[in-house]
Amino acid sequence: MADNKSKKAVPLPPGKPLVSPQALPGERPHERPHELQPALQHPSLYINREVSLLEFNQRVLSMARDKRVPLLERLRYLCICSNNLDEFFEIRVAGLRKQRESDGRGTGPDQLGPSEQLHQIDAAAHQLVELQYTVLNEELLPALADQKIIFPPVKDWSKKMRTWASRFFDTELFPVLSPMGLDPSHPFPQLTNKSLNFIVSLRGTDAFGREASRAVVRAPRSLPRIIPVPFEISGGQSQFVLLSTMIERNMGRLFPGLETRGVYQFRVTRNSDLYLADDDVSDLRLALRDELNARDYGNAVRLEVGDDCPASIVKFLLNQFKLDPIDLYVCNGPVNLGRLSKLPGMLDRPDLNYDSFTPVITKTTVGGKKLFSTLKKRDVLLHYPYQAGHTVVSFLQAAARDPKVLAIKQTLYRTGEHSAYVEALIEAAHNGKDVTVVIELRARFDEDTNIKLATQLQRAGVQVVFGVVGFKSHAKIMLVIRREKGRMARYAHIGTGNYHESNTKLYTDLGLLTHNKRITGDVQKIFNQLTGLGKVANVKTILHSPFNMHRKVIKLIHKQADRAKQGKPALIRARMNSLNEPQIIEALYQASNAGVKVRLLVRGICALRPGVAGVSENIRVVSVIGRFLEHSRVYAFGPDGEEEVYLSSADWMPRNMFHRVEVAVPMLDDKLRLRVLEESIDGYFRDNCFAWELQSDGSYRRVQATGGASAFSSQSHLQAHYQKQAHQA
């Protein structure tokens, strides 16, 4: 479908600054206080969100090629890139196709319509997939073979190996495989999203006298995708066979009496987003259950086939899934690289993994009941994964058992199926506490888990609220109400990451535990708003989406611009996962023009275009990809010694500002504020090992050590810093 209504982004004239056409003679646009500057809204000043997301996955894939990274960790990065690309097609590409079918207009600040975006995605995604298989075949598999970790090709199988494979197929695979012949009475089957399938070319007549030509075989998800070869067969080597290879090799056993002329693996990716008309939903939980049942059978958006698949069969499959050739991805290897993530867990090779790392425990992070007395004296800042993630869990457990605690309130977005947080909340309810949990059922791909957790909590007597219709409850907050000397005392935890124990070992996140009356009072107001009805909560200290965060962030940016115009030092530092909110970007452009130094750490999507003459010369954007997933959100406004610093659950994206319940809490303690800046922002701008700097053309350049500077990894530095701190404690 043509995309005639969309507006193409016009390239910037090389070397020429953009000046607002409304500027008066002799006046530069930034000299007028925060007026609308149409030039700063020019589509060419904004990088497309989807292209930026694919650029992020290029950086992830670069880790699979980095020989400084242990070999099995490199394999994991390859799998992460593959899994990220799956979700990209399931959600982002599926959404663009749906948008193209409706009005076809561009909605982002770059003004690219869905057809234009899909065209750009086609080129970038195909290139990325091709590179993935090049990395696998030319770099990782040879490196694994050098370490005696081998996937022997079928042509090299010994007689003992072939005998073992046949026996394994007969006993372990044959009973659960169901061949589906294709004929007028057996139409092409409805295949689930991302399932491993085989299309088989046959010749002959079956038992009913039917001419056989094609069949489909689906590999059940219960089957292991990687099969270890017994040591007595492999000669003591670590040898493995892919499930796809095992099935292809023995496929003829499923079609006795017929000639198997070819076996070709394929996989279809479907639209996996959930579409709920909030106005029509009377019971969100039931509506979600209905949608989840249909998720595996959404419209197809991508077809992957093995590179040996004939053109005639490729055409047949594209027709079955109603896809175009642009939606085809040819794979020089297994069609789902993400399955290889199981391999490291099947090997006892610590020398090929990252060194073991144990988060430290200090006196202030022991948790438990002692934290109540500690918090009366000072706030406690937690930095995951460098500090132990169980601190907040043990604090919650202590609150559940403390007779002085009367009530506990908590938000849950993603927690995992078996959660110590959930167990502690249930224990608190059993102990007679008033427990309220705001659980977000619409956390993408965790909906089913959250429905089960909600049911479990309700059965235990916990009051469960499913957030607000139309607004995801994404804030990470906890409130404990305790009776102390006849008065009510409040304690709160506000974090940048989810209440998920596994994530605290893998993600970098920050959390604040506080007894501060202003902050805890605001947290209580936000909980009351989430669970009840009423006007906008009158929060005075915390920034709160969707009500005041966007406006206040822009105001804080403008405040720095005003300082710069007055000749005062002005600085903006921030870190987040993604940045594409156009009004915030425009405010940052204005600040840059006014002379404000802007330093941004943006892990993934970044629509802001730095380094453009007359627009963003004072802005640097850096992305760090390392051992841990960078997940903290920190905003800092002001030069050293005068900065206002916030921890937040919110990225600078439209959804976080306008369609989610989010919070940003100020760091009121001077020592903790400086610690946040050094550990979460400033140290990262010294990284010359795993940092990438965004260029004005939307590409990223790896930051290298120059001038004889020593190698510096921000994550490694923090690991060493906290280990040293633990030894000194």
CA–CA dist 103, 98 (Å, integer): 9
Entry field: residues in the chain: 729
Quickly tell me which residue has 């490729």 as its tokens.
314
Contact 16, 120 (CB under 8 A): no
CA–CA dist 267, 650 (Å, integer): 35
Contact 243, 196 (CB under 8 A): yes
Q: What is the CA radius of gyration of the chain?
A: 28
Please report the sign of the dihedral spanned by the C-alpha atoms of residue 199, residue 200, residue 206, residue 211. Answer: positive
Active-site position among 474, 544, 550, 631? 474
What is the SS3 string spanning 674-720?
Answer: HHHHHHHCHHHHHCCCCEEEECCCCCEEECCCCCCCCCCCHHHHHHH
Query: CA triplet 492, 493, 495: central angle to 5 degrees?
Result: 150
* Structural element, H or E, at residue 305: strand 300-306
SS3 content of the chain, % helix, strand, coil (to 5): 40, 20, 35
Query: CA triplet 412, 413, 415: central angle to 5 degrees?
Result: 75
Q: Which residues of 401-425 are buried (b: 16+ CB within 10 A; e: fewer)?
A: ebeebebbbbbbbbbbeebbbbbbb
| Residues in a beta bridge with 574 | 600, 635
Quickly tell me which residue has 């005003």 as its tokens.
562
Count of C-beta atoms within a 10 Å radius of residue 88: 22
Contact 463, 433 (CB under 8 A): no
Burial of 566 (C-beta count, 10 Å sphere; 0-12/13-18/19+): exposed
At residue 405, φ and ψ (nearest 5 deg) are: -80, 130
> Which positions ≥6 away from 462 have C-beta within 8 Å?
425, 426, 429, 435, 436, 437
CA–CA dist 660, 558 (Å, integer): 24
Q: In the 8-state DSSP scheme, what is residue 337?
A: G
Alpha helix segments (H runs only) across 472-581:
503-506, 517-531, 549-565
601: helix, coil or strand? strand
Is 126 marked active-site? no
Angstrom CA distances, 143 to 69, 140, 234, 235, 353, stand at 12, 5, 19, 20, 14
Strands in 566-632 per DSSP E: 571-576, 597-602, 619-624, 629-630
Which residues does the annotation mark as catalytic?
Answer: 474
